[in-house]
């Protein structure tokens, strides 16, 4: 029972030390300034340009998003090769002893 009490005392002292350390920790301000500078550089409006003609012009077909999905072609599986059939690589061995041995 005495060992348990000593352990609980040590545990509470460790917790107090951690809380004191976290409360006295300082946050460096130099890193925050670098972050603000990075955000300002991220938005570069000089590359954007519009003119009155662009705004007044009617939209073309390329300006609209076409939500119709593109149909994908089905994957065509070739004929199945049996384990005792000759290997398709042309070695003359059975498939199970050639390219099919790792399957």
Contact indicator for 96, 83 with CB cutoff of 8 Å: yes
Interval 2-23: pLDDT, tens: 999 999 999 999 999 999 888 8
Rounded Cα distance between 62 and 96, Å, is: 54
Rounded Cα distance between 48 and 42, Å, is: 13
Could you tell me the pTM of the whole model? 0.27
* Six token digits for residue 69: 């999905």
Interval 44-98: pLDDT, tens: 666 777 777 767 777 666 666 667 778 888 888 888 888 899 998 889 999 899 9
Contact indicator for 81, 88 with CB cutoff of 8 Å: yes
């Amino acid at each position: 029972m005495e060992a348990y009490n000593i352990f609980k005392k040590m545990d509470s002292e460790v917790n107090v030390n951690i809380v004191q350390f976290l409360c006295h920790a300082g946050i460096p301000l130099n890193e925050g300034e670098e972050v603000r500078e990075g955000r300002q550089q991220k938005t570069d409006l000089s590359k954007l340009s519009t003119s009155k003609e662009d705004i007044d012009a009617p939209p073309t077909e390329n300006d609209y998003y076409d939500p119709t999905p593109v149909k994908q072609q089905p994957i065509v599986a070739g004929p199945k090769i049996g384990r005792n059939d000759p290997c398709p690589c042309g070695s003359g061995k059975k498939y199970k002893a050639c390219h099919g041995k790792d399957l």
